[in-house]
Structure 1
Amino acid sequence: MEFAVFQFELVAKDELRLPRYKGSAFRGLLGHALKRTVCVTRMDRCNGCLLRQDCVYAYIFETFNKRGERVARPFVLEPPLLERRIFPEGDSMLLQLILFGKAVDYIPYLIHTFREMGRMGLGANRGRFWLRRVTYKEKIIYHFEEQALHTDFERENLFSIKADGQTVEKAKIRFITPTAIKQNGQLRKDIDFVSLLKAVKRRIKALSIYHNGHLSDELYFDLDKAQSVSVNGLNLAPFAWKRYSNRQKQKIDLSGFVGEMELRGDLTSFRPLLRMGEIIHIGRGTVYGMGKYLVDIIKD
């Protein structure tokens, strides 16, 4: 499954007043601005639209399979991971947009959409911003001074991630953004290694069936070996936040946990799957940047 990670640098044109967790603010404005940019029918809903099959907005935000069932959307928006909420005029911030499958082709539309978002305004006071540049693997593909796009970049493939031969027996998993994983219909307050691997596997399956066309053998992992990996330290804290859904006309609870988990055992064969999870995120709310974790290898 092809993917690409783009970094956007935004500069405040007015003072910006943003919430503690900024994923919902950016994702909400992105959807609104993209639809306003590409929709020619101006229908409130995509259901029944004759242009839906070839629509950029419908593919990215109203993602359904042929049976009309909602499937995983082909993007993750990683918001600026800054605690502060006030950004004076001239301050800059970075966010990442991770695209999967055909969505990578639509990066020109999304760059244009971010420019429109800046004009529309963001946050409680609708503060404006402007897009300074977009980079891919440290290569500038858009800069405001050029007003040109360079899309001759080489895409990556999620399933090309392989073990590098390095033996790993100890690692720390850092849950950077709120992580919400359900088990038997209930949100978990903690996590173990097997549950983490299963969450990664579910997420890859959800993305690849629709945005890749087939599954990969890389999803297999040895359950007995995974169960032998012990959790030596678990330091998690609840992260409560809600977002208002215009579709459902109510607040949606997207609370999860953040923190760290230290693992000990034979982790070598699990490194590719763990690396995939770092890219795709896990659990609920991935389009808001939730479920981001990083793996730190610990060498004794």
Structure 2
Amino acid sequence: MSKYSQYLKERQWKAVRLRFQFQARSSIRFPPFSGSMLRGVFGRALRSVSCLTKAKDCKGCLLRTNCPYSRLFEPQLTDSIDSAKFSAVPPGYVFEPHSWGAEILNPGDKFVFDMVLFGNAIDLIPLVIYSLQRGLDRGIGHGDAALVAVYQLKDEELKKIYTEESEEVLEFDRTVSLKKTFNPSCAVRLLTPLRVQRDGKILNSSELTANDFFSALLRRIDLICRTHDKPIEIPYDLLLEETAKVKMAKSLEFRDWVRYSSRQKNKMNLPGLVGEIRFDDLSESLFRCLELAEFFHFGKNTAFGLGRIEIVES
């Protein structure tokens, strides 16, 4: 085990996966992938309960630095982030809808989705719960829904931390550790479209290399830590040298996904890769990075739930 892989394994990573359970009060229409819809409902509700000025946008707002809406939904570049290296700051969460495919729910039907929060965003979990409760109560998919319960999902176990009748959020674990058994040969499932780009172009299956894959993943880990936790030193040169030894067997396809942007008032096509990649000759450090990606996601548009992967035990 290298010193860096040992560091990745021994560090306590600030990440919490929540599972929200709601019950439809009226008919709800979910699009093929509901991550964008959930994020939109969350953002509108979060802004309505957080914004003191009620301005149309956050530009030039005196309160922006300390505003929970800005911290969660529109984080800003800080001194710890090289603006020449990173052009945008990711929010401290990702949504994880449970299914792909359009769906119509009837009144009384229950549905669930997950949400992962990172670093300092974890401190705002009560506000996150309240915002989603309020948002879905006011409307989603031409219907509305009531919150039933919120759970923490950790190590495949569910712990209830909040119900509609609760007066407070119960205690929950704020960190995760990387505990999977290292295997230099493993498969990775791309559960939602992975949008990795090179020179501004989203890569297809034939274009995607191990260097592209892990470069995007390392940048994501680096940026999440710099933005929402304590910065970590990532030995890019060393790790990317290790990717040169990695063999990839890909079984991937492009999946189209179209979302409507209420901000830009138009439809946006966001295709990406889904399927499975078989890796051989992985270093333990790269394996641990894959394990982190199960929480962080990576690639473009991760807040909606894109770039979600799962390591398949070998």
Q: What TM-score does the superposition give when structure 2 sets the normalisation length?
A: 0.85
Distance 1:221 1:132 in 2: 48
How many residues in Structure 1 have an aligned counterpart in Structure 2? Answer: 290
2: distance between equivalents of 1:75 and 1:218? 25
- 1:75-224 matches, cutoff 5 A: 75-123=93-141, 126-136=142-152, 137=154, 138-144=158-164, 146-156=165-175, 160-161=177-178, 166=181, 168-190=183-205, 191-217=208-234, 221-224=238-241
Note if contact 1:218-1:273 (Cα within 8 Å) is conserved in structure 2: no
Paired residue type of 2:171:
D
Deviates more, 1:36-45 or 1:74-83: 74-83
Shift in Å, 1:226: 2.4
Relative to 1, partners in 2 of residues 1:225 and 1:70: Cα closer, same or farther, differing over 3 Å? closer
Sequence identity (%) = 29
1:239 aligns with 2:255: yes
> Deviation digits for residues 152-206 of structure 1, max 9, x if unmatched?
222115xx536x6x45242111100111111111110123333222111010111
> CA deviation digits over 1:70-124, x for unaligned, max 9?
411111111232424111122222211111121111111111111111221111x
CA contact (8 A) 2:192 2:274 kept: yes
- Mind listing any 5+ residue stretches in structure 1 that lack a counterpart? none
Q: Any conservation in 1 of the 2:33–2:102 contact (CA below 8 Å)?
A: no
Question: Structure 1 runs of 4+ off > 3 angstroms?
Answer: 66-70, 216-225, 266-269
Q: Secondary structure at the match of 1:30?
A: helix
Once the 2 structures are TM-superposed, how far is the Cα of residue 252 of structure 1 from its aligned partner?
Answer: 2.4
Q: Which moved more, 1:194-203 or 1:243-252?
A: 243-252
Tell me which of 43, 56, 59 is aligned to 2:71. 59
Q: 1:23 is matched by which residue type in structure 2?
A: G
Q: Which amino acid aligns with 1:92?
A: K
Residue 27 of structure 1: which of 34, 39, 55 is its match? Answer: 39
SS of the equivalent of 1:21 reads coil
- 1:271 is aligned, of 287, 290, 300, to 287
Residue 10 of structure 1 is matched in structure 2 by 22
RMSD between superposed Cα atoms in Å: 2.2
> Structure 1 pair 186/266, CA: closer, same or farther in 2 (3 Å)?
closer
- Relative to structure 1, the CA distance from residue 194 to residue 244 in structure 2 (aligned partners, 3 Å threshold; closer, same or farther) is same
Aligned-pair CA distance for 1:62: 1.5
Give me the whole-angstrom Cα distance separating, in 2, the residues matched to 1:292 and 1:60: 20
Matched residue of 2:46: which SS? helix
Q: Structure 1 residues 276-285 or 46-55, which shifts more? A: 46-55
> Which range moves more in the overlay, 45-54 or 100-109?
45-54
